[in-house]
Every structure is written in structure tokens, then in C-alpha cells.
Structure 1
Amino acid sequence: MSLNKGETGDSQIEQIVEHANVEKPQRGRIATLIRKFWWVLVIVFAIGALIVTLPLVLVGFPRIIQDKVNKSTLSIDGIAVTNTKTNTVQISINSTVSSSNSIPAVVDGFDAIMYLEDKLPHTPVMTLRMPETKTGLAIVNITQEINGANLQPFIDFNSWYLWNSSLAVTIEGETLVHVKGLKAAKVSFKKTVNLTGINGFKGLEVTKANIALTPDTRGDNFHGYANIPNPSVLTFEVGNATFANYFEKTKVGTLYIDDMYIRPGINNVSVRANITQEPILLALRKKPYCTDGVLPFDLMGESVINHGEPLPYFSEALALHAQSTTIGVGKALFETTGATFYNCTGAA
């Protein structure tokens, strides 16, 4: 057995040459480039991030803010109509706006129109100057003078408020929302609020009636008090209100409420009237009124005057429908004269 050193040696030399010709990795060279030009890579990465995120901010951010405005809530806690004149009134509205505070922001003040949601076409009743607010829970109180109170939209507003058990009002406008570090976002504010109406003073009650057979110096022969219910959040300064007094669809006199000022709840006010006596005394002798002397009356608004100025937005509203009540006329006459005027003997 022989050993071929030459062949074996050649083979070993060839393998060494082949290993020597293999290309070495370039890791060191790449690492060197990164160390030298790292700032270029950072700039490229930042530009790429801006290209991706900037459209999202410019397009998505306003949408996010608008969505938060849409999800906010508005509640009206009180409305006051005071300093009432023919063409102007002072409006005070106390309200609360509740919104998410996950993105702290400031909402610019803006002008907002208010209109009756269920009366078409939507016609502005008034323009409200909404103050600047912050996100979260914001108390928004507004007091301002409103012009054009004698125009039809404000008359309609009062009529709807007076004769409905509820009504929907919408407040609408555009404003800017500011978030620190970002461009202000333009948003639309539109909220519809359901309010409790006055419902025609349903439940009106006349008490402590005093009836005289001889009128006083002003021509009044009836005095008493009225409990006027107001289930709404509305306070309004009416002034001197005059009502036509009807019995069985026939006008029998005029009733007056002086310095009428209505607040939420039960309002006890003094009333006076001049009543034609003959139809009332005859009614006390016929059924069903002869049994207890209680007579039904309907009151229709005729005029409203405050500080010498007529208020059509109240008088026209009060004249739309009759306000019904009952008065214990028989008992009042007995207390005044000591005589019983209601009796069913021979009654028809």
C-alpha cells in the first residue's frame, strides 16, 4: 500500500486557494456608513413619518373634533324674558353644555340662531351670542337684548311655548375649536332641546272671589286671586293683561291682571273684573249651576301693555285659545251679601 503525497498535497493546496478566494462579509463597511451618516437616516425617517401622519392630522383631527361636538349635550335650565317692550326684550338663558374632556380644547364664542324645530320652514326666532367655553362641563349663561320682538317669528315662539305641553327648539351655529399645538378646527354646533311648555295655563284656579253688587270707582265688581300654573322653565314679564270673560260663549265682562309676572311653578296673582250681572244671576237659577253656584268661564286675551307699550307677542299668543276656569259665584255672593242666589226650585 502506497501513499500519493503529490495528489494529496495538490488537493490540499487547491482547497486552501478556494477558501482564500471567498469574498469576506461587508458588515464592517455598512456599520461604518451608518455611524458616519446616521443623521441622514434620522431625517429620512422623520420625513417619512410626516408623510404618513400629516394627512391623518389634517384630515382626521377636524373629524374627531366634530364627532366630539356632535356627541356633546346641551340642556336649558332657565329662560327669562324681561324688560319687555314693543320691539325689544331682554333674553336670559341659563344652560349647561357637557362634552368629553379627553382632548382639552377651547371653543370660540360664536353667533347661533334659535328656531322652532317642528315649525317649517325653519325661521330664526333670535340670534344668541354664545360665549367662549372649554371642553368638559361648561355653564353657559347668556343675557342680551333681542330686537324684532314684534315680528312673527317671536310671536310664534311665544304662542308655541304658551299652548303646547312640550316644544323642541334648535340652536345652531359654526365656531372654531382650539387644541394646543394644532391648527384650529372649524366645527358645526347644532343641538335640539325639548322644553316643557306652559300648556295653556292648564289647571288655572280662581280663589278668594269677592263679588259686589255695586261696582267700585274703576267699574269693577269682582276681585279675587288666580293660581296660574307654569310647569316650564320660562320666566316672563307680561305687564298689564286684559282678558275678555265669556260665559256660555257670550262675553259677560272683562278681567284684568295688573303687573303680571310669571315664574316657574304656581303663581298667585290678584285679579279684578267688571261683570255683567244679569246673565250670571239668571244662570244661578238653572241647572246644573243652581246646585252649587259654580260657573265655568273662558278667558280670551285682548291686550297686553307694559310701561305704556303694547306687547303683541304676548297679546296675540293669549288670544289664540281660551283659558278655562270655574268660579264659585254663588258662594262669593253669599259671603258678600248674606243671601243665597243659587237655587234649583223651578229651575229648567
Structure 2
Amino acid sequence: MSDKDIAREGIVAHENTSGKPRKRGCIGHCGRFWWVYLIALIVIIVIVVPVVILVAVPKIAQDKINAAELDVRDIKALDTQTQNFTMTIDSGIRTDGKVHAKVAPFEGVMYLEDWAPQRPFAKIQFPETSSAASQDVSVKQFVNIEDMEAFTVFNTWLLLNNTLRVTIKGDTSVRVDGIARDYPVVFKKTTTMPGLNLFKGTSVSDPKIITGNHTEDNGANFQGTVTIPNQSHVTFEVGNATFFNYLGDQDVGEVYINNMTIRPGDNVFPMTAKVSNEAVVAAMTKRPACETGKLTFGLRGKKVVNHGQPLPYFADSLASANQTVEIDISQALGFKIPCSQTS
């Protein structure tokens, strides 16, 4: 064997023998200090896991609630009485569906987001829901009107505006699958709803003059068919409504529409009116009415009664602004009234 071979074997032997003590040293270290690693693991389990359960999970739960989308598809206010009514809400909730959990039933309040006091106009009992990606939520309940002013303001905003924002808010809790603990969360959703836009587009067809023995008990001398558009998602049982009737600034009588339940879309009802014939004839002799045969009337709510009970929250909202409607008087008369020489 040459000197070079002997040298190589010595190097290999040296490398092999130098690695063994390191391996044995690591094993020996773990063998001597295993209890340190065990304590560290216990500390992680005792401290970190509760932190995750008590801090991280509640935050995730609230974030998921905040990210969920609420779509209010339909609201009904039926069986309306002076101090109460039956409310039905048809809605849908959308989530990402990544966290499996259940949201406990809760009482939520509804209020106008853009009305500064943000006072609730209704309290609703919401059922238990899940974190499914999409689910329907329906509520039907008897509602006591606890704040008449707030409910009247809601109806007024619904009547006057093209859109309005309504917030639903309530305290509830979430239980995540696999964790036997309820986490408190706040459910708060603001949804933009279409309003009634003052019943824009209301029209009267088939106008007729009532004369002689055909005059109504309330003195009505005019009748027609009124079409009232409802562009909102709200159905409400109004009952019998009486309106002031104006020609310009002049009060010329009353309009009566009975048994009204306004639903989304076009609503058609018979209407009658007690009108000052003198005021109408005088207005018809002036241009442009004498040329078109039509007059524009202004209607403003006077009173609303349903099943013998006054409904101030509807009456006051209908009294908040004039609604205009054009009526073909010449069609009702069967002829046009000539224009006066001074018109």
C-alpha cells in the first residue's frame, strides 16, 4: 500500500469518527432535557390555544358576520290596527360558506339609517341561521308599535323617497362547529330599499259624473278608476283613505279610496270624489284646460281608517306632501267647455 492510500484511509476514518459524537450528542441532549421541550409544548397548548379560542375565533366570527350580505326581498304590513300590525319579511343571506357555524335566534331592531335619531320603528325576532353560502330567512310576527313617531317617519320616508336605507341590528351569538362555546357577535346590516316616490305615475281612468239619485251617501258626485304604482318591495294594508282635493291652492273637496292594500306593481281601485262643480267648471274655462279637457288635481291625505280603527301612521305620512293626478274632465262631461274670452 502506498503512502497516498494510507493517507486517504486516515482521512476517511477521521471523517467517520468525527460524525458519530455529534449524533450521539444531539440524542443525549434531548434525553437529558426532554422535560424542557415537554414544558414548552404544554405552555403552547395552555396559552396559545386559549388565545386562539378566546381572541382569534370571536374576531373571525364577527368578521364573517360583517361580510355576510342581506337582501330584503319583500316586506308586508298587514292586519293594520292603531297600535299594531302583522309584519312579514322575506329575505336572503349570502356568505362565503367557508366557516361552519350557527347564528343563534335574536331580537333585531329596524331603523332608518339616515334619520339622525336612528330610533327603531319595529322589533323583529329572527330565527336561527347557519353559515351556508346562501339561505332564505323568513319572519312573520305580530308587531306592537312602541314608537309611533319613528314608525310614522319610516312610512313618510318610504312614501316620499325613490330609495331609502334601513338598518337591522341585534346582539346574538355564534357557535362554530367543533367548539363547544358561544361567541357574542353583533348583527348589523344596512340595506337600500326602493321607495314609493310619492306614487309617481298615478292615473285616473273612466271618469264619470254622478248625478241625481246615484249620488253616494258621502255626497260624492264623481267616480273613476285609479291606478297606483308601487315601485317598492313593501305591501301594506291601508284600508279606507280620505284625501283633500286641491285645484292649485284651492280646496275643492275630498277623494275616497276604500279597501286599499298596496302591493308591489300597479294597484287598481275604484275611487269616488265629492268635488265643487263650480270650481271645476271655472277652471275648465281657462287655458290650457279648455283646450286639453284635462285638469291636474293635488291629493293630500286627510284620514285613514281600517276595520274601524284610525291609522295615524299612514294618515300623517299621506298628509306630508301633495300627490298630483291628471283627470280628463271633458271625458267625464262628454264635451269640452269653451275657453273664456279672458283666459
Q: Name the TM tier (shorter chain).
A: 0.7 to 0.9
Measured after TM superposition, the shift of residue 58 of structure 1 is 2.1
Partner of 1:255: 255
Measured after TM superposition, the shift of residue 282 of structure 1 is 2.0
After TM superposition, the structure 1 = structure 2 runs for residues 301-312 of structure 1, keeping only pairs within 5 Å, are 301-312=301-312
Q: Is the 8 A contact 1:150 1:311 kept in 2?
A: no
The whole-number CA distance in structure 1 between the counterparts of 2:297 and 2:23 is: 105
For residues 217 and 323 of structure 1, do their structure 2 counterparts lie closer, same or farther at Cα, with a shift above 3 Å needed? closer
TM-score (normalizing by structure 1): 0.85
Per mean C-alpha deviation after superposition, the further-off stretch among 51-60 and 28-37 is 28-37
Measured after TM superposition, the shift of residue 101 of structure 1 is 1.4
Unaligned runs of 5+ in 1: 1-23, 335-339
The whole-number CA distance in structure 2 between the counterparts of 1:157 and 1:28 is: 80
Aligned length: 320
For residues 27 and 318 of structure 1, do their structure 2 counterparts lie closer, same or farther at Cα, with a shift above 3 Å needed? closer
Aligned partner of residue 291 in structure 1, secondary structure: helix
Measured after TM superposition, the shift of residue 311 of structure 1 is 0.3
Q: Is the 8 A contact 1:171 1:192 kept in 2?
A: yes
The one of 102, 121, 128 equivalent to 1:125 is 121
Task: Answer yes or no: is 1:318 the counterpart of 2:318.
Answer: yes
The whole-number CA distance in structure 2 between the counterparts of 1:295 and 1:149 is: 42
For residues 211-233 of structure 1, what are the alpha-carbon distances to aligned partners after superposition, in whole Å with 9 as ceiling and x for unaligned?
A: 13435142221111111010000
After TM superposition, the structure 1 = structure 2 runs for residues 67-106 of structure 1, keeping only pairs within 5 Å, are 67-106=63-102
Task: Answer yes or no: is 1:207 the counterpart of 2:199.
Answer: no
Measured after TM superposition, the shift of residue 88 of structure 1 is 0.5
The whole-number CA distance in structure 1 between the counterparts of 2:196 and 2:117 is: 23
For residues 276-331 of structure 1, what are the alpha-carbon distances to aligned partners after superposition, in whole Å with 9 as ceiling and x for unaligned?
A: 11111122222221102101100111100000000000000001111101100012
Measured after TM superposition, the shift of residue 56 of structure 1 is 2.7
The whole-number CA distance in structure 2 between the counterparts of 1:28 and 1:122 is: 73
For residues 35-80 of structure 1, what are the alpha-carbon distances to aligned partners after superposition, in whole Å with 9 as ceiling and x for unaligned?
A: 8998x68854641441334323321111111111111111100000
Q: Is the 8 A contact 1:230 1:265 kept in 2?
A: yes
Aligned partner of residue 327 in structure 2, secondary structure: strand
Q: Identity across aligned pairs (percent)?
A: 38
The whole-number CA distance in structure 2 between the counterparts of 1:319 and 1:235 is: 19
Partner of 1:21: none
Aligned partner of residue 81 in structure 2, secondary structure: coil
Partner of 1:283: 283
The whole-number CA distance in structure 2 between the counterparts of 1:134 and 1:217 is: 57
In structure 2, what residue type is equivalent to 1:87? Q
Partner of 1:10: none
Q: Is the 8 A contact 2:121 2:148 kept in 1?
A: no
For residues 296 and 41 of structure 1, do their structure 2 counterparts lie closer, same or farther at Cα, with a shift above 3 Å needed? same
The whole-number CA distance in structure 2 between the counterparts of 1:327 and 1:30 is: 100
- RMSD, aligned α-carbons: 2.4
For residues 289 and 26 of structure 1, do their structure 2 counterparts lie closer, same or farther at Cα, with a shift above 3 Å needed? closer
Q: Is the 8 A contact 2:152 2:314 kept in 1?
A: yes
The whole-number CA distance in structure 2 between the counterparts of 1:345 and 1:48 is: 100
In structure 2, what residue type is equivalent to 1:147? N
The one of 98, 109, 114 equivalent to 1:113 is 109
TM-score (normalizing by structure 2): 0.87
Task: Answer yes or no: is 1:170 the counterpart of 2:199.
Answer: no
Q: Is the 8 A contact 2:121 2:145 kept in 1?
A: no
In structure 2, what residue type is equivalent to 1:279? A
The whole-number CA distance in structure 1 between the counterparts of 2:221 and 2:57 is: 71
Measured after TM superposition, the shift of residue 107 of structure 1 is 0.5
Task: Answer yes or no: is 1:142 the counterpart of 2:135.
Answer: no
For residues 217 and 29 of structure 1, do their structure 2 counterparts lie closer, same or farther at Cα, with a shift above 3 Å needed? closer
Q: Is the 8 A contact 2:300 2:318 kept in 1?
A: yes
Q: Is the 8 A contact 1:283 1:289 kept in 2?
A: yes
Task: Answer yes or no: is 1:223 the counterpart of 2:223.
Answer: yes
For residues 301 and 35 of structure 1, do their structure 2 counterparts lie closer, same or farther at Cα, with a shift above 3 Å needed? same
The whole-number CA distance in structure 2 between the counterparts of 1:96 and 1:185 is: 23
Q: Is the 8 A contact 1:85 1:306 kept in 2?
A: yes
Measured after TM superposition, the shift of residue 26 of structure 1 is 9.3
